[in-house]
Amino acid sequence: MKVDEVENLLRHYRHDWMNQLQLVYGYATMDKMELVKEKLQHIIAVSREESKLMSLKAPRFSLWVVQFHEHYNQFHMTYHVDSSLDLSAFDQSLVHSLNQFMSHLKQHVNEMNLYDIEMSVIKGDSPKITLDVSGDLNEVECLKSEVQQIQFVKDIEITDRQMLISLLLK
């Protein structure tokens, strides 16, 4: 990663952090302590997930997730990570597969719509990643066919409003 990319990432992080603090401050100045507590609980929960993400021993994957919103502004991704996983053996190939997935997905969405992606990193016999995409999808059979060719893809369920894929890391 180049210095200017690191600087841009830090700038983005700082901007997001300041937005969160300004919301908490705004709620506090309006004496809306329940909203302050809710927002702080949300910030803590997101920080815990990010900490678990960073402990996966997969720096490229962690960076891909952290930079996701910067690269894919039409998509909002939340994630949940099971603790104590070691994804180091899959780091580079996993990022490659996720980039392929997003490339295909972008071709099958409406450019004026926003989409939600919920990602789960699950511990099992073999680590598994699920991606649940919500929003209007175009040419779903073509999208399914394209995504099935991606490394690690195990299962796909798809409708014109939702797509659930499972990546099995073996």
Per-residue pLDDT of 37-71, as tens digits, reads 999 999 999 999 999 999 999 999 999 999 999 89
Q: Which residue has the tokens 């990602």?
A: 119
pLDDT attached to residue 170: 87
Residue burial 14-30, b: 16+ Cβ < 10 Å; e: rest = eeeeeeeeebbeebeee
Model confidence band, residue 26 (pLDDT cutoffs 50, 70, 90): very high
Average pLDDT over residues 126-152: 96
The pTM score is 0.89
Q: Which residues contact 92 (CB under 8 A, 6 or more apart)?
A: 60
Model confidence band, residue 12 (pLDDT cutoffs 50, 70, 90): confident
Of 61, 47, 55, give the one whose Cα is nearest residue 17.
47
Model confidence band, residue 10 (pLDDT cutoffs 50, 70, 90): confident
